[in-house]
Structure 1
Amino acid sequence: MDHEKVNILLVDDQPAKLLAYEVILKDLGENLVIASSGREALEVLLKTEIAVILVDVCMPELDGFELAAMIREHPRFQKTAMIFISAIQVSDIDRLRGYEMGAVDYVPVPVVPEVLRAKIKVFAELYRKTRELERWNQELEDRVRARTAELENSTAKLRESEQRRSMAIAAGKMGSWDWDWINGDWMWDEGQYRIFGVSPENFNVNPANVQALLHPDDVDELRKAIAEFNKGSRAYETEFRIVRPDGDVRWCVGTAAATIDGSGRVVRVSGVTVDITERKRAEERQNLLAREVDHRAKNALALAQSIVRLTRADEVKAYVNAVEGRINALARVHTILSLSSWQGAELSKLIDEELAPYSLGGQIRLAGPEVQLVPATAQTLALALHELFTNSAKYGALSTRSGRLTIGWQVDNDALAVTWEESGGPLVRPPKSRGFGTRSLLASVESQLGGQALFDWRPEGLLCRLQVPLTRKNAASSAPDKFGAAASAELQRASG
C-alpha cells in the first residue's frame, strides 16, 4: 500500500556504521537522513521534520545522552521517537538514564538487522498514523469551524430577517397569528395584539374572546371561514371590522392558509391581519369628495344655465357681456372656495374679487369685520355683489370719476348686514321696472338665503341694504344640486 514517506535521522560519528544502517533500513522505503555528529543532527532537526532518530550513545564532543537531552528541551521534539545504539554492555542504570533522556528503546551491538528494521518500522508507522490523525483532527476542526460559522451566519440572517419582518409588520400595521386546529391553541404576535387594541397580559386568545372583538355585522365572516376550512379549503381572505375595547372601530383584511396532514385533514391555520382603516377612510373621503364635486358641478351648471336662459338684452353684444360677467363672477367665487377646500370664503375677498376688473382707485371705501361665509351664502352674495357693481359701473356712482361708493358690513345676532351706499354720480331716478339683475338679486337673497334686500333710489345715489342670516340651516348646509335648482326656479319666477 502506498504511503507518505517519513524521515529517519541516523546519527553516528563512524561512516561505516552509518552505511550499515542505511543498508539495513533501505528496504523500509523511508527517507534516510545522515548526521555524523550531535551538532549536525541538531541542524538537521531544525530544518527537517523527523519521525525517528537512531543515535549512537558513544560519540565525541556530544554523546547520545547529551544530544537526547538537548533535543527534548525543544518543544517541537518532545515527542520524537529516539532509539539508542550502544556497543558496550548497558546496565539497568544506563537504560534508566537513557529513558529519562527521552529514549524509547535500546539496540545493542552487534545489530540484528531484522530487529532494527522492526523497531524503526513500528515507530515510523506510529509517527505516520499520528500525523494522519492530526491531519484528520485538523480537517475536523476546520469543518467544525466552517459549519459553526455557517450556522452563525444563518442564525444572523434569520435574526435579521425576523427583525425586518417585525419592522415591516410594525410599519405596515400588520400582525400574524397561528391556530392549532386540533387542540385549539392560538398564538398571536405583537402586531396582532396591537391591531386588536389588547395586550397579552389582559387578553386570553380563544375563539370566544376573538369573536367578542369582531363587529357584530362581521361575525359571520369568521363562521364562514371556519366552515370553508372544514370543507377542505386551503386559503381564505376577507375584510372585516373589529371593535377595540376602547370603542374604536378598525377595518382589517385577513388572509389565512391551512396546513393539511397526510389524510387531508386541517391541522393548523396560520394567517396575517392588516389594519386597513386609513385606506378605508381615504376611500370614504374620496367617495365623499367625488359626490361633493358632482354636486358642485351640478350647482355651477344649474346657475350658468339660469344665467344664460334668463339674461335679457336688446343687442347680442350686450347679451354676451352680461352673460360673461355673471359667469365670471361665479368662477371667481368658485376659485376662492376651492382655495379653502370648500370650507367657506371671506366676505372681504368676495368684494375684492368683484372690484378687481374696475381699477377705480380711491372711489371705493370698505369697512367691516372679518366674516366667514359658508359656500352657499358666498355664491349667492358674490352674484348679488356682481349685479350691484355692474349696475353702478353702467348707470351709478362708478360710471363717473366723481362718484363714490361705500360698502360697509357688520354682524349682529348671527345676521350679516351689508350696506351699499353710492354718491356723487349721475342724478338717480327710481326705475319704472326692475331689470333682470335686480330681480335675480332679490330672488337669490330672499329665497335662497332667507334674507332681505332693500333698495332706496335716492337722487344723490343708490342706497341698498342686504340682511342675510348666517346661521340659517339651508344657507349653511343646503345641497348644491338643490341650490342650483332652486336658484333657477326663483330666477324664472323673478323674470316673469
Structure 2
Amino acid sequence: MMEHAKVNILLVDDQPAKLLAYEVILKELGENLVSVSSGREALEFLLKNDVAIILVDVCMPELDGFELAAMIREHPRFQKTAMIFISAIQVSDIDRLRGYEMGAVDYVPVPVVPEVLRAKIKVFAELYRKTRELERLNVELEDRVRARTAELEESHTRLVESEQRRSLAIAAGKMGSWDWDWTNGDCLWDEGQYQILGVDSGSFELTPGNIQSVFHPDDLHELREAWASFARGAKSYEAEFRIVRPTGEVRWCTGTAAASTDKDGRVIRVSGVTVDVTERKQAEERQSLLAREVDHRAKNALALAQSIVRLTRGENVKSYIHSVEGRINALARVHTVLSLSSWQGAETRKLIEEELAPYAMGEQVVLSGPEVQLLPATAQTVALALHELVTNSAKYGALSAQSGRLKVDWENHAGLLKIVWAETGGPRVEKPTTRGFGTRSVIASIESQLGGKAEFDWRPEGLICRLSVPLSSHHAAADLLPPQEATADANGLRRAER
C-alpha cells in the first residue's frame, strides 16, 4: 500500500442526517468514506472490503453498537480494526468499560466537535497505513517461505478459512453463515445456519436436494434465479424468503451472499449470511392487524352510540341526558372489560359484576354461574340489556329497597347462554299494561341483534327475566356489521317500540 493511498472509513448510523454530518466533517481528510444505515449492511460491506476505521453509533435498532462490535471482533480479519463509538446520551463508566471490552478504541460524545473527530480519525488512518505497510512486507516474506513450504501454506489457508466461516454467526441461531465452493460444489455451514433451519449438524447431509428441501416451495424459484445470476456476472444478492423446518414450522429469513472471483473474473466461491427475522415479521403482522381491529372497533362503538342517542326517550332534557349517559357508561364499562382481554372476549361474571357494582352490597345481590366467554359484539349487547334491567330495578324493583334481593343465574346450555334475572323482596310488582322503553330495548337488542330471546314474567313478588343468547359467532354477526347494517338494527329497535 502506498503511503498516501486512500483508506476505507466505514460510517454506521441509522439516521441519514447524522451520516451526512460525519461525511461533511471528514471530507477534507481525503479518505474513502462509506456510509451504511444498519449493522447488517456494515457486516455485508466488511465481508467484501478492508476497512481502516469504523465509526459506529451506540444506539441503533436490531443490532446496537455493542453487539455489532462484538460480532466484528470475532472475525480474525477485524480483531485490530479501529472502532470509535459515537453516543448521543451520557455514557456511564460501566458503558465505557463494556465498549472497550467489545473492541472500541475511543468514544466521541454528541454534539461532535469536528476538529476532535478529524484528529482522531487522522491518527488511526495513518496508523492503519503503517500497519498495512508492515503487513505487506510481512506478506512478501511469507511468500518466499510459501514457495519452499507448499504444504504448510495449504494447511494455514484451510485454518484461516475455517475460522472465517465460524466467526460470522451470532449465538442462539439468529444468524448463520455458509460457504459454497463454486468449482467442486462443496458446501460448509456454521452451527448458526443449522440452528436457523432446525436441522441436526451431525446427520443433515449438505446436498443440493437436501438444501432446497428446507426452503418454502413458493420461494424456491426466486432463490434459484438469484443463484443463477452469479453465473451471469452478479457479485452479490440479497433476498427475503421462508424456510420450513422438519417440524413443519415456517420461519422468515433474510439472506445476503457475495461472490469471490479469480483473476479472470470467474466465480470460485460464494459466501453468505442468513438472518432469522421471524419475530420482526410477526410484529409487523400484529401491528397491521391491530390497526384494522382498532378501526373496526371504533366503527362498532360509534354505531352503538348513534343508536343509543337516536332511540333513548325521556320526559325532559335532564331525563334524556341521564338515560343517554347511563347507557354510554354501560358501553364504556364493557369496553374496559374487553380491552383487558385484548378484545378477545368478555367473561359473563365480570360483565354482570361491572353492571351491578354500585348495588353489590352485603347479601342483596347473589350471582351464580360457570365461566362463559362472550364474543365482543355479544358482550356489548348483553351489557346494554343488563344496564336496562339494573336501571329499572333501581327505580322500581328490588334494588330500590333495602329489603330487596336480586339473584342472577346463568349457564351454557349447548352453545346457548341462559341468564335468569330474579327479583324478590322489593315493592309489589304489577304487570304493566304497556311495555316501557327499557323492556323494549332489552327485547330488541337480544332478539334483533343477537337472534336470542327475552322473556319477562311480572310476578307480584318481583320480576323474573329470562335471556337466551347464542354464543356462536354465526349469531353474533353484529360484531362485523358496517355502519349501514348497524342503522338497520336501529330501525328494528324502532319497530319494536311500536
Q: TM-score range by the shorter chain?
A: 0.5 to 0.7
Supply the distance in 2 between the matched residues of 1:272 and 1:373 (Cα, whole angstroms): 48
Q: 1:430 to 1:490 in 2, by over 3 A?
A: farther
Supply the distance in 1 between the matched residues of 2:250 and 2:349 (Cα, whole angstroms): 42
Q: Which moved more, 1:279-288 or 1:427-436?
A: 427-436
- Determine if contact 2:443/2:453 at 8 Å carries over to the other structure: yes
1:493 is aligned to: 492
Q: Which runs of 5+ in 1 are unaligned?
A: 1-154
Q: Is the aligned partner of 1:444 residue 2:464?
A: no
Supply the distance in 2 between the matched residues of 1:479 and 1:266 (Cα, whole angstroms): 62
Supply the distance in 2 between the matched residues of 1:360 and 1:325 (Cα, whole angstroms): 20
What is the letter of the counterpart of residue 495 of structure 1?
R
Query: What is the Cα deviation at residue 483 of structure 1?
Result: 8.0
Q: Is the aligned partner of 1:217 residue 2:213?
A: no
Supply the distance in 2 between the matched residues of 1:350 and 1:462 (Cα, whole angstroms): 21
Q: Which moved more, 1:236-245 or 1:409-418?
A: 409-418
Provide TM-score, normalisation by structure 1: 0.61
What is the letter of the counterpart of residue 305 of structure 1?
Q
| Matched ranges for 1:90-489 at <5 A | 169-171=170-172, 173-358=174-359, 362-469=363-470, 472-474=471-473, 478=477, 480-482=479-481, 486=485, 488-489=487-488
Q: 1:193 to 1:165 in 2, by over 3 A?
A: closer
1:77 is aligned to: none
Supply the distance in 1 between the matched residues of 2:472 and 2:316 (Cα, whole angstroms): 41
Query: What is the Cα deviation at residue 210 of structure 1?
Result: 1.9
Supply the distance in 1 between the matched residues of 2:222 and 2:392 (Cα, whole angstroms): 66
Supply the distance in 2 between the matched residues of 1:277 and 1:477 (Cα, whole angstroms): 34
1:103 is aligned to: none
- Determine if contact 1:449/1:474 at 8 Å carries over to the other structure: no
Query: What is the Cα deviation at residue 280 of structure 1?
Result: 2.1
- Determine if contact 1:303/1:488 at 8 Å carries over to the other structure: no
Supply the distance in 2 between the matched residues of 1:225 and 1:240 (Cα, whole angstroms): 12
Q: 1:365 to 1:206 in 2, by over 3 A?
A: closer
Give the match's secondary structure for 1:474. coil
Query: What is the Cα deviation at residue 408 of structure 1?
Result: 2.4
Query: What is the Cα deviation at residue 217 of structure 1?
Result: 0.7
What is the letter of the counterpart of residue 354 of structure 1?
E
Supply the distance in 1 between the matched residues of 2:472 and 2:395 (Cα, whole angstroms): 36
What is the letter of the counterpart of residue 313 of structure 1?
G
Supply the distance in 1 between the matched residues of 2:493 and 2:459 (Cα, whole angstroms): 24
Query: What is the Cα deviation at residue 454 of structure 1?
Result: 0.3
Supply the distance in 2 between the matched residues of 1:184 and 1:283 (Cα, whole angstroms): 37
Deviations 1:14-73 (A, max 9, x none): xxxxxxxxxxxxxxxxxxxxxxxxxxxxxxxxxxxxxxxxxxxxxxxxxxxxxxxxxxxx
Supply the distance in 2 between the matched residues of 1:265 and 1:214 (Cα, whole angstroms): 27
Supply the distance in 2 between the matched residues of 1:426 and 1:217 (Cα, whole angstroms): 71
- Determine if contact 1:253/1:274 at 8 Å carries over to the other structure: yes
Give the match's secondary structure for 1:407. strand
Query: What is the Cα deviation at residue 289 of structure 1?
Result: 2.9
Q: Which moved more, 1:435-444 or 1:267-276?
A: 435-444
1:51 is aligned to: none
Give the match's secondary structure for 1:343. coil
Supply the distance in 1 between the matched residues of 2:315 and 2:461 (Cα, whole angstroms): 28
Deviations 1:381-405 (A, max 9, x none): 1111101011122233323334332
Q: 1:167 to 1:328 in 2, by over 3 A?
A: farther
Give the match's secondary structure for 1:418. strand
Q: 1:205 to 1:163 in 2, by over 3 A?
A: closer
Q: 1:244 to 1:384 in 2, by over 3 A?
A: same
Aligned residues: 337
Supply the distance in 2 between the matched residues of 1:479 and 1:258 (Cα, whole angstroms): 58
- Determine if contact 2:172/2:192 at 8 Å carries over to the other structure: no
Supply the distance in 1 between the matched residues of 2:318 and 2:244 (Cα, whole angstroms): 65
Query: What is the Cα deviation at residue 234 of structure 1?
Result: 2.1
Percentage identity across aligned positions? 67
Supply the distance in 2 between the matched residues of 1:444 and 1:483 (Cα, whole angstroms): 17
Q: 1:408 to 1:246 in 2, by over 3 A?
A: closer
Q: CA RMSD in A?
A: 3.1
Greater CA radius of gyration, 1 or 2?
Answer: 1
Query: What is the Cα deviation at residue 477 of structure 1?
Result: 6.7
Query: What is the Cα deviation at residue 365 of structure 1?
Result: 3.0
Q: Which moved more, 1:334-343 or 1:473-482?
A: 473-482
Give the match's secondary structure for 1:356. helix
- Determine if contact 1:448/1:486 at 8 Å carries over to the other structure: no
Supply the distance in 2 between the matched residues of 1:312 and 1:165 (Cα, whole angstroms): 76
What is the letter of the counterpart of residue 262 of structure 1?
K
Give the match's secondary structure for 1:313. coil
Q: Which moved more, 1:172-181 or 1:415-424?
A: 415-424
Q: 1:163 to 1:370 in 2, by over 3 A?
A: farther
1:109 is aligned to: none
- Determine if contact 1:440/1:494 at 8 Å carries over to the other structure: yes
Q: 1:163 to 1:425 in 2, by over 3 A?
A: farther
Query: What is the Cα deviation at residue 484 of structure 1?
Result: 7.0
Supply the distance in 1 between the matched residues of 2:411 and 2:494 (Cα, whole angstroms): 31
Q: 1:207 to 1:172 in 2, by over 3 A?
A: closer
Supply the distance in 2 between the matched residues of 1:388 and 1:484 (Cα, whole angstroms): 27
- Determine if contact 2:173/2:193 at 8 Å carries over to the other structure: no
Q: 1:165 to 1:482 in 2, by over 3 A?
A: farther
Supply the distance in 2 between the matched residues of 1:392 and 1:360 (Cα, whole angstroms): 15
- Determine if contact 2:334/2:380 at 8 Å carries over to the other structure: yes
Q: 1:164 to 1:224 in 2, by over 3 A?
A: closer
Query: What is the Cα deviation at residue 372 of structure 1?
Result: 3.3
- Determine if contact 1:428/1:459 at 8 Å carries over to the other structure: yes
- Determine if contact 2:255/2:272 at 8 Å carries over to the other structure: yes
Q: Which moved more, 1:294-303 or 1:323-332?
A: 294-303
1:76 is aligned to: none
Give the match's secondary structure for 1:292. helix
Q: 1:476 to 1:234 in 2, by over 3 A?
A: farther
Supply the distance in 2 between the matched residues of 1:226 and 1:452 (Cα, whole angstroms): 65
- Determine if contact 1:374/1:475 at 8 Å carries over to the other structure: no
Query: What is the Cα deviation at residue 464 of structure 1?
Result: 1.0
Deviations 1:277-334 (A, max 9, x none): 2322333233333333332222222211211222222322212111111111111112
Deviations 1:164-191 (A, max 9, x none): 9759622352110112223322221122
Give the match's secondary structure for 1:268. strand
Query: What is the Cα deviation at residue 363 of structure 1?
Result: 3.2
